[in-house]
Amino acid sequence: MTTTTLTARRGRALPPSTGDDYNGLLKLYLANKDANPKFDIFTLSQPTYESKLSLMQVLAVLTGSKEVYKTWLFAGGEITGSGIEGSLAKATALAVGPGLGTGEGPRRLLGAILDAWRGPLLLDADALTLLAGRLGVLRARAATPVLTPHPGELARLLSVPTAEVTADRLGAARRAADAGGAVVLAKGARTVIVGGGGVALVNPTGTPGLASGGAGDVLSGVVSALLAQGVPAREAAAAGAFLHGRAAEIAAERFPGAVPAGELVEYLSAAEAEVRQSE
């Protein structure tokens, strides 16, 4: 990994959500709302999201963002996907999936996003479920998308049993990368990154403590923050996985077991500082 991937640039990340089960970042955003911003954050969500954690925590930690913009895309209680163009015009990267939901409304919203957005894109969680068996819809994108599946999500994307993925996670990740023209960050013990050219990468950092609710959302936040700063997809995925895993290693001194997602984000700055000091 090159340290140039951590160069701070202004950008705007938009993590759309439609559910009230955000699970990783709003707490950190609120704790860092008075920091100097490097880029703004936009969110699409239901009005109930303030009481939950969301993908914005990690983005706030890495960027010091001050503002959150809310755009409601609901009509008669149903998600329409309409009215999204204004928010997309302000963004430089999107992270879609955590809290999205998997019903017909979220499917329409994801479709609207894929049709309207041509910039850097990360897909995780519910977005991956909605794309199960149809990775080909991503192949024509101008910017290489980043997919961050765990083994179950990777199996759904490929329409194969999870056991087949766990038996050869690297091979499964390569198949998904080829099918979707994507960079695939396949989560697990020793996360692997494939696609985007070059050899497969194996992330050397991380602990079993990352097997906690919301930890994957934190990873999505790190990678999408890097994408919003202009880091290419493959490098953003590799750097994000490294920082995420290293933060867990540092946190293990305080949390020998599972590291709560809301606490994991607190150690990202220390992980980044280590990388910068090694320059």
Selecting from 3.40.50.150, 3.40.1190.20, 3.40.50.261, 1.20.5.440, what CATH number does the domain 11-277 have?
Answer: 3.40.1190.20
Q: Considering all CA atoms of the chain, what is the largest pairwise distance in Å, rounded to the nearest integer?
A: 54
Identify the helix (H) or strand (E) that includes residue 60: helix 56-63
User: CB burial class (10 A; 0-12, 13-18, 19+) of residue 144?
Assistant: buried
* C-alpha to C-alpha distances, 138 to 96, 131, 156, 235, nearest whole angstrom: 14, 9, 16, 19
pTM value is 0.81
Domain ranges in the chain are 11-277
* C-alpha to C-alpha distances, 90 to 69, 75, 156, 229, nearest whole angstrom: 11, 23, 32, 14
CA 213/CA 217 separation, integer angstroms: 9
Please list the pLDDT of the chain residue by residue as tens digits (279 residues).
Answer: 322 233 334 455 555 554 443 333 343 333 343 433 333 444 444 333 332 334 444 444 444 444 443 343 444 445 555 667 776 777 788 888 887 788 888 888 889 889 988 999 999 999 999 999 999 999 989 999 999 999 999 999 999 999 999 999 999 999 999 999 999 999 998 999 999 988 999 999 999 999 888 888 889 888 988 888 889 999 999 999 999 999 999 999 999 899 988 888 889 889 989 988 876
Per-residue b or e along 222-259, where b marks 16 or more CB atoms closer than 10 Å to that residue's CB = bbbbbbbbebbbbbbbbbbbbbbbbbbbbbeeebeebb
